[in-house]
Amino acid sequence: MKKIIRNTMVLAGILASATAFSADYPSKNIRLVVPFGAGGGTDAVGRTLANSAKDILGTNISIMNRTGGSGAVGMSYGAQQRGDGYTLTVVTREIASLPQMGLMQHTADDFKLIRMVNLDPAVVLVNKDSKFNNINDLIKEAKANPGKVKFASTAAPNFYLIALQKDQGIQLNAIPYNGSSEAIPSVLGGHTAVTMVTPGEAISQLRSGQLKALGVMSKERISYIPNVPTLMEQGVNVTSGTWRGIGAPKNTPDDIITTLGTAFDQAMASDEFKGFMAKGAMTIHNMDAAEFTQFVKDDTKSLGELIK
């Protein structure tokens, strides 16, 4: 009996020492915190990127889904981990919006941002039989009947919509659905008139023609849906979208950030990752640490103006 305990202790000791910190990074498995559930878009991007990066870094990257509070729980958790490079976090646009709404204590400043991974604009979508054919039809209707046009919102509040509403001085009846998988059927079934999602979320319906795109909320057209004009082309000067990137706790040493940055550059350039993103109609947007940090700062400011 005593022997068993002793043996177990020895075994435990071996296992513990194998995970101890060492200078040659990375020497053990890296955890990537995904602040959204298994099976969602952020999860899929995180898993695929981890899969591509693991061979480059020469270590396994395990995905840790930590959901709650629209991403707040996972990102706060990631920000509070040891800055040893073994816990990374997928940061999403919510890191810019939630703190300003009083729904999250940590901000982008609690992270050292490593790379932006993707940037997707929102697309304005209506049913194929809708009377709206361009963004101005929709705006005209909303001006004529304030608060009457039913909008299937993928989140509450929906910043894509608020950006349009503020700019045009219109008001839609925003009904908060739980993500695009509820909002899209609602428009398909004719229960709501319009929704805004990213191209990847609606690519099946766009290709089959079940949904009609009134415009894309980016500066330039998107290669996956080249026939859809931007809102700016139609005289509506609004852009909006969402982004994802990778961050590490803010006390992570800079050389580790550099190592990881280079590894993610290669991962993002890999055929596997590029193929995955292209097929899912998601846009890879690689921004380096400095550029990404500035971008998040700017986006935080512009979201702050929408929230006010």
Site for another protein in 192-231 (CB under 8 A): 192, 200, 203-205, 207-208, 210
Rounded CA separation 51/73 (Å): 24
Nearer of residues 91 and 104 to another protein, judged by Cβ: 104
Per DSSP, the residues of 125-139 read EEETT-S--SHHHHH
Q: Which of residues 92-131 bind another protein (CB under 8 A)?
A: 100-105
173 touches another protein (CB under 8 A): yes
Q: Which of 51, 83, 62, 64 is nearest to 263 (CA)?
A: 51
Cis bond upstream, residue 26 (ω within 30): yes
Binding piece for another protein, criterion CB under 8 A, among 48-56, 118-126, 250-258, 262-270: 48-56
Please report how close the Cβ of residue 140 comes to another protein at its closest, in angstroms: 21
Rounded CA separation 87/30 (Å): 6
Q: Which of 306, 307, 301 is nearest to 108 (CA)?
A: 301
65 touches another protein (CB under 8 A): yes
83 touches another protein (CB under 8 A): no
Nearer of residues 83 and 157 to another protein, judged by Cβ: 157
Nearer of residues 101 and 232 to another protein, judged by Cβ: 101
Per DSSP, the residues of 11-49 read HHHHHHHHTS--SSS--S-EEEEESS-TTSHHHHHHHHH
Q: Which of residues 239-298 bind another protein (CB under 8 A)?
A: 272, 275-276, 279-281
Rounded CA separation 60/83 (Å): 18
Binding piece for another protein, criterion CB under 8 A, among 55-63, 116-124, 128-136, 240-248: 55-63
Please report how close the Cβ of residue 59 comes to another protein at its closest, in angstroms: 12
